[in-house]
Chains A and B, each alone.
Chain A
């Protein structure tokens, strides 16, 4: 069942997956109990000649207990799922860790426009670099992405990092991730954004430290050595 998901390559992806599996194991048990009872009762209590159903109203405490006790267990398990889930949610969508790298991403029909601040670490200066659809980041560093949209709602989706965030025009929405394994991963748009929605797809290049340094030098040959920026 490990190949149910794309390979996880982010630091918090495992947390998302662990909540998924927590719910999966709890609900699988319930699934087999309930469906099993239906099949068993259907077989066991099928109509037989001369047989008569029991007159059970389910209005006494003892009878209701057969439902209320399982229900109480459901409530407890619901709370377990929520409490465990709240931690993971806060980690991903709450206050992010300080940024090592900050990039701006603008959704536009039908591309991701990425803006890098350049060696000075500031946006809106001459050394800014704009590239459509290619997002270069170092592995193991906290990357902040400031999401904006030029036109309609898009959704910034990194399936391998278990990250998704809608991108809403008129707003700047922050997102962050930290990739744990070098490689190339896709950045599809996950919200219907027009006739070119299908195929709106960027690419995340997660470089090792040396490769990222190399990429940075190629882009800003005379730039300062500073590769980290403050968000």
Chain B
């Protein structure tokens, strides 16, 4: 497929910048995603400072005016969902893992792959630019509800909002290209013997996420174009004074928005299942039903969207059907969670940094799944909608997938990506600090929400009923700052290991999947000879093998490939 790639050494620009190698593109997505994570963290810091110490100067920044505060909350959500979670979980891990795990030389469309990254890069530039235009960045919330987002006079934001829409449209185009590539690659380029049900779960989850994304994003792109037209050429799709309908946007947004939640959740769960299996030395419990559950959850994600709109003014009779589908969607996810726990049963567990983060994902995600039941119940939502309870809930689900899951994946595949080992001790410190401070930020945040504190208010001290929450809010902010500082252990570890980490052998974790059969890092075109697959990905502690692992490509009764 990648016929244009030659074995002649490529120049710096072709091999490191405008590369068509999926591994280089994965690292580009990872780098850009981690850069945006710093921006997301910085916005979180300023938001938290303003809530805990309203109208005082944030150390290192200064005074946070209410309109700037609205830009912060808008950009925090936009950045974290679209410019951190998507590029890291989907694009970086998907790009890196799919060809390697299926034994392919590269993606099906390497140049399309390169294009998808550079479109995403352009989206990043546009989003960054939007901070610096007159009127500032978008300030209508990451959900961009019109009419607030549709007319400049309502927010005072001009081109910032247009650029925000443009950046999202570009980013969606980028991930559509990526999704097409993921699917085509996995459908056509699997190594001999690698049937669908011998694929690692993480590949299944990536593919399901790609399909969900492709099917859901269309309506939102249409909505984004309509909103842009409302802003620029004076149409009134979402403006009632011209016969438009504000709620139409909410339907289009959440028809995409809820599947999108699973788009960034599934790859995280996939990573966790793989990591748990390796460090438990045990097959993933109920592999096939997990895949069926994933597909069912993917389909169901298209019929739950109005649970974001129980009190938005939709016909109240619509609420109960959506409440029922929402609570039912907990069933396939409960299956996956129970399977993860069952995988630990009678295992032989090594607590590496990757495994700690994987178990952390599991523990934290359960909490987020449980609080989702409260939100999904329409009557309870009347009270907790648009409060910090909801904010705390989705951080439990998304932070667990994106950060705990993402870190599990990074600690696990770093040796394969960069050819060097990360420092395990620093990794474990990083885990424990992250775990403790994450919970001390977000458990109290539920309580703040139950006391009624609304999202996106710049100053809770303007409300009598919220004044008693000041000490709790200050505790949360302090914990959030410590949570951010804890990430320094990762940053230091990452760069130190990159420069001076111990050289990684092919298969440092004694894992079964195909990426571990090639060198660390893999060469251009990945495998010296295309591997042949004999079994599923999780044959750990199999009675067929004397050791507690059995690589997918190893024929039975044959000596293991000598090359290490």
Contact = CB atoms under 8 A, between A and B. Distances in A.
Whether chain B is bound by chain A comes out as yes
Interface string A65-84: 01100110011001001100
B288 A153 contact: no
Instruction: Pick the most buried of B378, B383, B452, B462: most chain A CB atoms within 10 A of its CB.
Output: B383
A194 B155 contact: yes
Interface in A1-55: 4-6, 15-16, 19-20, 23-24, 27, 30-31, 34-35, 37-38, 41-42, 45-48, 51-55
A62 interface: no
A37 to B, nearest CB: 5
Q: Which label, helix, strand, loop or mixed, suits the secondary structure of the A interface?
A: mixed
A162 B383 CA distance: 5
B323 A170 contact: no
B214 interface: no
B382 A192 contact: no
Contacts of B338: 34, 66-67, 70-71
Nearest to B279: A47
B540 interface: yes
Given A38-B362, A42-B349, A194-B148, A85 B380 contact: yes
A182 interface: no
A186 interface: yes
A60 to B, nearest CB: 10
Interface string A161-189: 01111111111010000000000011011
Given A34-B337, A89-B379, A5 B450 contact: yes
Contacts of A56: 282-283, 285, 342, 345-346
Contacts of A152: 145, 147-148, 154
Interface string A90-102: 1011100000000
Contacts of A53: 280-282, 346-348, 540-541, 548
Interface string B177-215: 000000000000000000000000000000000000000
Interface in B287-327: 287-289, 311-313, 316-317, 319-320, 323-324, 327
Contact of B374 (A20, A52, A75, A82): A20
A206 B513 CA distance: 67
Interface in B85-111: none
A217 interface: no
B238 to A, nearest CB: 10
A52 B334 contact: no
Contacts of A35: 363, 366
B451 A5 contact: yes
Interface residues of A, number: 84
Contacts, number: 284
Given A67-B339, A186-B464, A41 B347 contact: yes
Nearest to A166: B312
Contact of A6 (B156, B377, B465): B465
Interface string A192-213: 1111111101000000000000
Contact of A45 (B328, B349, B543): B349
Contacts of A186: 463-465
B359 A38 contact: yes
Interface stretch (B27-35, B65-73, B404-412, B415-423): B65-73
A120 B319 CA distance: 36
B518 to A, nearest CB: 26
Interface string B238-254: 00110011110000000
Nearest to B459: A198
B449 to A, nearest CB: 10
A34 B366 contact: yes
B330 A58 contact: no
Contacts of B452: 5-6, 157, 159
A153 B385 contact: no
Nearest to B457: A198
A109 interface: yes
Contacts of A191: 145, 386
Given A45-B349, A55-B541, 11 more contacts: A6-B451, A35-B366, A41-B344, A42-B344, A56-B283, A59-B286, A94-B316, A167-B313, A170-B245, A192-B456, A197-B456
Interface of B: 65-67, 69-70, 73, 139-141, 145, 147-148, 154-156, 240-241, 244-247, 280-289, 311-313, 316-317, 319-320, 323-324, 327-328, 330-331, 334-335, 337-339, 341-351, 359, 362-363, 366-367, 370, 373-374, 377-380, 382-383, 385-387, 447, 450-452, 454-459, 462-465, 540-543, 548
Top-8 shortest CB links A-B: A170-B240, A159-B452, A58-B285, A58-B286, A54-B346, A41-B344, A198-B458, A93-B316
